Amino acid sequence: MNTLLLRDNENDIKKAGKILAGGGLVGIPTETVYGLAANALDGKAVSKIFAAKGRPMDNPLIVHIQSANDIERFNLASEFPKKAKMLAEKFWSGPLTMIMPKGSAIPDEVSAGLDTVAIRLPEHETARAVIKAAGVPLAAPSANLSGSPSPTTAQHVMNDLGGKIDAVIDGGECRVGLESTVITLAAVKPRLLRPGGVTVEEIESVIGEIDIDDAVLNKLADGEKAASPGMKYKHYAPKAKVILLKGADNAYIDFVNNNSGAHTAALCYSSDAVRLNVPTFLLGSKDDCLSQAHMLFDSLRKIDEHPEIKLVYARCPSTKGVGLAVYNRLIRAAGFEVIDLEKI
Which does residue 278 touch among Mg ion, ligand AMP, none (CB within 5 to 8 A, set by kind)?
Answer: none
What is the smallest separation between the CB atom of 3 and ligand AMP, expressed in angstroms?
19
Which does residue 62 touch among ligand AMP, Mg ion, none (CB within 5 to 8 A, set by kind)?
Answer: ligand AMP
What is the smallest separation between the CB atom of 79 and ligand AMP, expressed in angstroms?
14
Number of residues located near Mg ion, criterion CB under 5 A: 1
Decide: 204 and 190 in contact? Cβ < 8 Å.
no
What is the smallest separation between the CB atom of 101 and ligand AMP, expressed in angstroms?
10
Number of residues located near ligand AMP, criterion CB under 6 A: 20
Per CB under 6 A, does 62 bind ligand AMP? yes
Per CB under 6 A, does 179 bind ligand AMP? yes
Cα 134 to chain centroid distance, Å, stands at 23
> Per the omega criterion (within 30 degrees of 0), is the bond before 146 cis?
no
* Spatial CB neighbours of 11, under 8 Å, sequence gap ≥ 6: none
Binding mask 111-150 for Mg ion (x = CB under 5 A): -------------------------------x--------
Binders of ligand AMP among residues 269 to 328 (CB under 6 A) are none
Of the candidates 67, 313, 17, 268, which has an alpha carbon nearest to the alpha carbon of residue 167? Answer: 17
Decide: 27 and 157 in contact? Cβ < 8 Å.
yes
Instruction: Give burial (CB, 10 Å; 0-12/13-18/19+) of 286.
Output: middle
Per CB under 6 A, does 60 bind ligand AMP? yes
Per CB under 6 A, does 228 bind ligand AMP? yes
Cα-Cα-Cα-Cα dihedral sign, residues 298, 304, 308, 312: positive
Per CB under 6 A, does 8 bind ligand AMP? no
Selected range binding ligand AMP among 84-92, 116-124, 153-161, 245-253, rule: CB under 6 A: 116-124
* Spatial CB neighbours of 157, under 8 Å, sequence gap ≥ 6: 27, 34, 36, 143, 144, 151, 168
Selected range binding ligand AMP among 8-16, 71-79, 227-235, 300-308, rule: CB under 6 A: 227-235
Write the DSSP symbol of residue 239. Answer: S
Binders of ligand AMP among residues 117 to 156 (CB under 6 A) are 117-118, 141-142
* Spatial CB neighbours of 122, under 8 Å, sequence gap ≥ 6: 30, 31, 32, 64, 93, 94, 95, 128
Residue 246, strand partner residues: 340
Give residues in contact with Mg ion (CB under 5 A): 142
Q: Which parts of this chain interact with ligand AMP (CB under 6 A)?
A: 59-62, 99, 111, 114, 116-118, 141-142, 179, 182, 193-194, 228-231
